[in-house]
Each structure stands twice: as structure tokens, then as C-alpha cells.
Amino acid sequence: MDISSLRNDFPTMRNNRGVYLDSSCQSLRPDSVIKAILGYYNEYPSCGGRSVHAMGAKVSTAVDEARESLAEFFGTDDPDCYVFCKNATEALNTVAFGLSLKRGDTIVTTDSEHNSNHVPWLILSEEKGTKRRYAKTTEEGELDLESFKECMENGVKVVSVIHASNVTGCIMPVAEISEIAHDAGAKVIIDGAQAAPHIKVDLDKIDPDFYCLSVHKMLGPSGMGVLYGRSEELANLRPLSYGGGTVGLATYDSVKLAPPPDRFEAGLQDYAGIAGTKAALDYLSKAGMGNVEAWDKRLMRQMVGETEDIKGLKLVGPTDPDRRGSVFSFNVEGLSPHDIAMMLDNIDGIMIRSGLHCAHPFFEGKKIEGSARASVYLYNNEEDVSRFSATLRKVAEAFGK
């Protein structure tokens, strides 16, 4: 498939709204996703799993079909292993606080986690007295596997790691991590927010106990995420919220929870978002995740090649573009990341991210104050990259040290 031809499927691109290079924060949406969202509101704006009328039945069918698409997309058999939530953050919190960990239980993460996979464990240590170990990453951001193995000694309850970094783009060896952790008797949680939109994720091969992702980073609606869990793990996980939809039967003095996934989906759901989720998965499946990954690499190679001689520019993460995924994080000597981002936007409508990217432990550990970050996706093209590179060069030459 010619990925470049997909650009016209995105209204933002068709309408020349500038150069969008902030997809690691949130992706744009194609026409088919927008149509699916509007289709819910125009054709069957009702609730699922409750009413037996025709519109309610159509909602329930749409929810079931979205779960089936998730199972197919991620290479698993049971659609009921997928729980809808707001984002990867909510999914990670659901697992962290639902495992019923107790004082002295040890959790292993890396030293480069997103706050969504860092702060919940901090709160648990404060409230429950759990312990924490940090596997080290290299200066470029890749996992030091020997450090991870050392962390797994002397009893570990949980391993919770990123699949791909939103700063360096580095991909963690999650299948190997999962095998080592399971051999040690630990449960495995993977933050897949940055990986799921850009590479083929086969959960049967990776073999995690839980996998968390944000649909809004993979062409889907804002406010949509997914928690995958093995059926036996979901059955033993305590929900984060309780109420309508989570209950099989409640009396004045007792409650029997519904089976997964319903027990984790309290109240009415974002049914338009669920319809949009299926449309996003269908779109990515048609594009082919292998093609998406190859296109990311092509644009990263161009971006690194066109900027490597800019004076004062320093990459955060690998210099090899094939190890960066879809993420180009950098600093320019003499300029703050926010200054860079604002000037790129003001000069040529180039939209990037700046700051700590919610990955505070990474920057603290590497002693870096922040970075500017350009991130690409399947709707970007060579012209976008060239405009970014040329404008960045002007900014660095005019205002850099």
C-alpha cells in the first residue's frame, strides 16, 4: 500500500492546517472514524447492555464488534479480555490499585516510565508500604537487561514497563521481559500507549498479564483507552469504580459483581468513542501495521539526515533513526524547548511538543531539563519533514547559542 495516499483521508491535512508533528500526544482522525462517531449520534444514540429496543440492541452490537476487532488486531482469542476506559492512564491505575498489593510487595519498573506508570506506584508505596525497584536504561534510553535481571532477584510481585518510550522512541524487549518476570512469579503490566499505534503488537507472543493503551494515539476518538487482561487475571482484579453495569445482583447488604469486562465499565460508556475505536482499528488494519512502522522509519531517517548538521542540536535518545520509532526529541543549545516549539509554530505552522512529556523520571535520571519533540505518523509526508527541518535550521542559526 502507498501510505502517502492516505493523507487525504484526514480533514486536518486536506484543509492545510499546518504541519502536525505531535502525534505522540494525540493523533489526527480519518474521515471513517469521524463518520463512525457521528453515525452513533445520528442513527442510534442510545445505551448498550440495558435497553432491549432496536437502538439499544444496535449499541450493544457495536460494542461487541469493537471488542472483536480488538482481539483480532492484537492477536488474541477472547474479546471479553478487552475493557474500555478513558485512556492508558486509567487502565494502568485500574490494574495498580486493583491487584490488592500489600506492605512489602515489590514492584519493578524502568527508570524511564511515563508518569502514568510511575505515579500510581508512588501512591501505593505511600498508602500501602509497597517497595519499588528501577531497572536502568542506557544514556540513549534502551533497557539494560542485566539491570532488569538484577531487579528480579529476591521476590517481585509486579513488573510494569513501557513498551516504547514517548521521549526516545526506544522499544523495550517486552517478550523477554515477560518471560523473565513470569519465571520469577511476577505479574506483567505493559504500558503500550506509544507502541500500539506504530508497530504490530501480538499479545499472544508478548504474553503480558495486562496491556494498556490509548486509542486517541492510534487514530481513535479522544477519551478512549483499552485495558487488556488475561481472563483469569481480570477475574481476580478489583475494579476502580462501582455502580451501574458492574453488578450482577445487588441487595441491601450484598453485591455480586458482573463478570469481566462489564465489572470494569461502570455507568454508561462512551458509545460513540467505542464505535470510533472500531473504525480506527479497521483503518490501521487496512493500512497494515508493517507499512505504518516502515513509513515511520522512512520519515525518521529523513528527519535525522536533514538536521544532523544543525549547529547546537542534540538528540535525546539514539542517533540511529531506525531505533527511534516515530519520535524525534531534541534540544538546541541556547534555546528552551518551549521557545523552539513556539517559534516553529509562529514561523511556519509547525506543531510539536515541548517540556517533560509526562516522563519526569527519564529527564531527572538523565539530568536533562526537557526537550522539544517532533513525532510523525502515517499521514505525514516528506514535505512535512522538510518544512520542519528547514524551519528548525533557521531558528537554530538565528537564535541558538
User: Which amino acids are annotated catalytic?
Assistant: 358
**8 Å CB contact between 98 and 92:** no
Question: Residue 167: what are its φ and ψ, rounded to 5°?
Answer: -110, -50
The grid cell for 46 is 442510545
| Of 379, 385, 370, nearest in space to 300 by CA | 385
d(CA 137, CA 135): 7
List, in sequence order, every residue forming a beta bridge with 190; answer none if it has no partner.
161, 211
d(CA 71, CA 131): 34
| Of 391, 384, 289, nearest in space to 348 by CA | 391
d(CA 89, CA 121): 12
d(CA 286, CA 280): 10
d(CA 97, CA 102): 11
